[in-house]
Amino acid sequence: MGYTADTMHSIMTDLDLSLAQFSLFGSLSTFGGMFGSIFSAKAAAAFGYKMTLWLADLFCITGWLAIALAKDIIWLDMGRILVGIGVGLVSYVIPVYVAEITPKHVRGAFTFSNQLMQNFGIAIVYYFGNFVSWRTLALIGSIPCWIQVIGLFFIPESPRWLAKNDRDKEVEVVLQKLRGPNYDIVPEACEIKISVEASKRRSNISIRTLFKKKYAHQLTIGIGLMVLQQLCGSAGIGGYGTTIFNHAGFPARIGMMVLSFIVVPKSFMGLLLVDRWGRRPLLMASGSGLCMSCITLAVAFIVKDDPELGKITPILCFIGILSFTMMFAIGMGALPWIIMSEIFPMDIKVLAGSLVTITNWFTGWIANYCFNFMFFWSQTGTFIISAAVCGGTVVFTWWLVPETRGLTLEEIQQSFGNV
């Protein structure tokens, strides 16, 4: 996700790329992610979560190798698309898988760990991007994929997926493995089987069914949060931090180094708070902080050309990007995916999950591709628009998003009136 932040200048120089060509390269990961997300839920439903993750790793490893060995723009773009497809598969499968295997009282924290690991990966890229070439950085990007290929041999399949595929004995075996040898898994196993059987009776689901009034609330929440997540400024600040620092006159190397040390500890804070504060308060706090961060960045570029006030532009820019990164890490980065994994019933989870994930990646592709052009059009205007979106996130959450902390997935469906 953060690969382009430190590599823009070196890739453009080595392969003689224009700004438009590099912007296309940067956005192709989200374009590929859109295609991966189209098949992610279907693949997970048909082959299971583990097999889908293995497939995602294959795409990612092939893509990173293509980028590392690229001699021209064609191989560079092809590698970026392949990585995007792999991440598109992962983006749906991991939060849903984690939500389905974890107990209700720690489900939020465990699902948030996905965002924690994403930020850990971004921190590695931000840090090593200051010292290694863009080709070496691509090879570093493939390392987690190899680790996951091996690690998948040691994890169980989701008990809800097993129940949906009539493998009832395996459901109890897997639950016992997940909960421990002394835990009474019978009530939970029965609840899962009853829920799955109810969803099977409503299994004749088409895309038209998805837009029925009974599912409107969940669909609005899922799509709305994904659009807001991508339009809040995360694509630009996360992917082109070096460019922003350079235009503000702040040393980009120092800025990216500091971000690499900050992003992971702040994600730990989100992980600790998500099951204590709840989803709604954390999401609104994150949106408010992001709004203030974007306003700070807008002010930094407003005063840039002033002979006196322009001196504070570098430090305001640094404060704005630092606070944005922290506030995104504790809430807006992970919570839309956590909530998406919780709110849809089993019978529409495949279609709804695909639609929501496609929306996220499509919006991300537009935001990623357009950021450079918007930034060079007006730095101030770009961040004012982002601030407005972040403010809209707070209103949207307060108005529409329910609290799901401490509820089982089946209880959440009951609260929506779908069971």
Q: Are 304 and 310 in contact (CB under 8 A)?
A: yes
Residue 204 pLDDT exceeds 80: no
Confidence of residue 206 (pLDDT cuts 50, 70, 90): low
pLDDT of residue 181 exceeding 60, the answer is: yes
Q: State the average pLDDT over residues 29-48.
A: 88
Percent of the chain with pLDDT over 90: 40
How big is the chain, counted in residues?
419
What lies within 8 Å, CB to CB, of 419 at 6+ separation is 195, 198, 345, 410, 413
Q: Which amino acid is at 246?
A: N
**What are the CA-CA distances from residue 216 to residues 17, 209, 221, 250, 349 (Å)?**
45, 10, 9, 46, 14
Average pLDDT (126-142) is: 91
> Which single residue is written with the structure tokens 């959450």?
397
**Residue 145 pLDDT > 60, yes or no?**
yes
Q: Write the CB contacts of 89 (distance below 8 Å, at least 6 apart in sequence).
A: 36, 37, 39, 40, 43, 52, 53, 55, 56, 59
Q: What is the DSSP letter of 4?
A: H
Residue 351 pLDDT exceeds 90: no
What confidence tier does 394 reach under pLDDT thresholds 50, 70, 90? very high
The pLDDT of residue 189 is above 90: no
> What average pLDDT score do residues 352-357 get?
85
pLDDT score recorded for residue 135? 95
Tell me the pLDDT band of 103, cut-offs 50, 70 and 90. confident
Interatomic CA distance for residues 60 and 365, integer angstroms: 18
Identify which has the larger pLDDT, 135 or 164.
Answer: 135
pLDDT higher than threshold 80 for residue 200: no
* pLDDT given for residue 306 in this prediction: 84
Q: What is the mean pLDDT of the chain?
A: 88
Does 208 score more than 80 pLDDT? no
- Reading the block at residue 173, the tokens are 């075996």
* Chain CA centroid to CA 248, Å: 28
